[in-house]
Structure 1
Amino acid sequence: MFARTERLLLRPSWPEDAAELHQAIADEGIVRHLARAPWLYTADDAAQAHDALYPAFLLMLRTYGAPRLIGACGLGNYDGSVELGYWIARPYWGLGFATEASSAVVSIAKAIGHKKLIASHFTDNPASGKVLRKLGFQNTGEAALRHSNGRRAAMTCALYEKTLGKAGADSTSMSPLPAFNIRAQMERL
């Protein structure tokens, strides 16, 4: 599955991406805000499995030259709930890429039949909460301890959720281009 936004191409990772992915995420300032990524992040950690119900995407900045990997965004299974997660490489912080990519992934989640998404952010990362609120996630008013592999400790997270309505009824403030299936597009050619 692929998606395109105004500035990004969202695509699955391939084995050939491991070195570039490792270079982009092997930054303690990024990994410390993620629950699942370990620190030290190694090239072996860059391998990602693909799951149609929980797609994960590399965020490729569309340029006139070769696209540049700037982060990742996707869905995961967290205690039976569908969780949105994302990270952006440090040179691209504060430029709206997390919101842009996550908006596309929320649309994909709805298109593949998910009814509700959850998300969280460590309380010392308020920028991530701002992204979630822009996407229409509601703060549940609850907090929970969640283990951070990057910090090797449990940290307090603010919890969010978003109910997904029927296609076209989403309340996100952005309108990404719809996701498309490359196999279906190739069959039409």
Structure 2
Amino acid sequence: MTALKDRLPTTLTTARLTLVEPIMAHAPDIAKLANNERVHRVMSRLPFPYTEDDARFFIEEVVPSPEEKCFAIKAGEKLIGIIGLRMEAEALPELGYWLGEPFWGQGFATEAGEAMVAAARAGGAQGLRSRALLVNTKSRKVLEKLGFREIGEGTDEKGTLEGQRVMFMRLEFEKR
């Protein structure tokens, strides 16, 4: 059986967005958007400051890894963020995303999330998991709009948010 990553499309399209695999040409835009303390404060895997070297590492090492399926979120020709799934053995894939601050509050996270959820379901995932800082109510609302339900609070165990309180969330797909 092929891995979920291999069953997901290479491009996803919504009414306003195109989700494509991040490439080296995206590195300057990724670095510019991710090098923002307000973005960094709510992300468990983004260093700060975030440089073009960090973006190149993401594109060269993280994107092709078997555990990750990453998409650059584009509105027209403008890169506005990143969304993806992290696959770990014996766990549901974990949905993660971030948008550059100029693109917050416009429904882009929900729209990109809907595309990812649909692709994961079509690819055979049984469900998804995610997490957000307890104080990040906007991200938790996005996840709720996508159908995730809160399953409990805990402490982030690794990454830049280690030790901070998070809400764990889960989305179960109905059996077909």
**TM superposition score normalised by structure 2:** 0.84
2:86 is matched with 76
Look at both structures and tell me which one has the larger radius of gyration over its CA atoms: 1
1:88 is matched with 99
Map 1:13-162 to 2 at 5 A.
13-46=22-55, 47-48=58-59, 49-51=63-65, 54-62=68-76, 67-77=77-87, 80-81=90-91, 82-140=93-151, 142-147=152-157, 149-150=159-160, 153-162=162-171
Distance 1:147 1:40 in 2: 21
Distance 1:123 1:135 in 2: 18
Distance 2:41 2:158 in 1: 7
Cα–Cα, structure 1 residues 45 and 158, in superposed 2: closer, same or farther, change >3 Å? Answer: same
1:174 is matched with none
User: Contact 1:98/1:131 (CA < 8 Å) preserved in 2?
Assistant: yes
User: Contact 1:34/1:148 (CA < 8 Å) preserved in 2?
Assistant: no
Cα–Cα, structure 1 residues 148 and 89, in superposed 2: closer, same or farther, change >3 Å? Answer: farther
Per the TM alignment, residue 24 of structure 1 is displaced from its structure 2 partner at its CA by 1.2
Distance 2:14 2:153 in 1: 32
Distance 2:90 2:39 in 1: 26
- 1:47-68 Cα offsets, whole Å, 9 max, x none, are 3323577421010002xxxx00
For structure 2, the residue ranges without an aligned partner over 5 or more in a row are: 1-9
- 1:23-63 Cα offsets, whole Å, 9 max, x none, are 1111010011111111221212213323577421010002x
Aligned residue for 1:154, secondary structure, equals coil
Distance 1:15 1:23 in 2: 14
User: Contact 1:39/1:150 (CA < 8 Å) preserved in 2?
Assistant: no
Percent identical across equivalent pairs? 31
Number of residue-to-residue matches in the alignment = 161
Distance 2:158 2:106 in 1: 25
Indicate the structure with greater helix content: 2
Aligned residue for 1:50, secondary structure, equals coil
For structure 1, the residue ranges without an aligned partner over 5 or more in a row are: 168-189
User: Contact 2:34/2:46 (CA < 8 Å) preserved in 1?
Assistant: no
Aligned residue for 2:87, secondary structure, equals strand
User: RCO (CA 8 Å, sep 6+): is it higher in 1 or 2?
Assistant: 1
Distance 1:51 1:149 in 2: 18
**TM superposition score normalised by structure 1:** 0.78
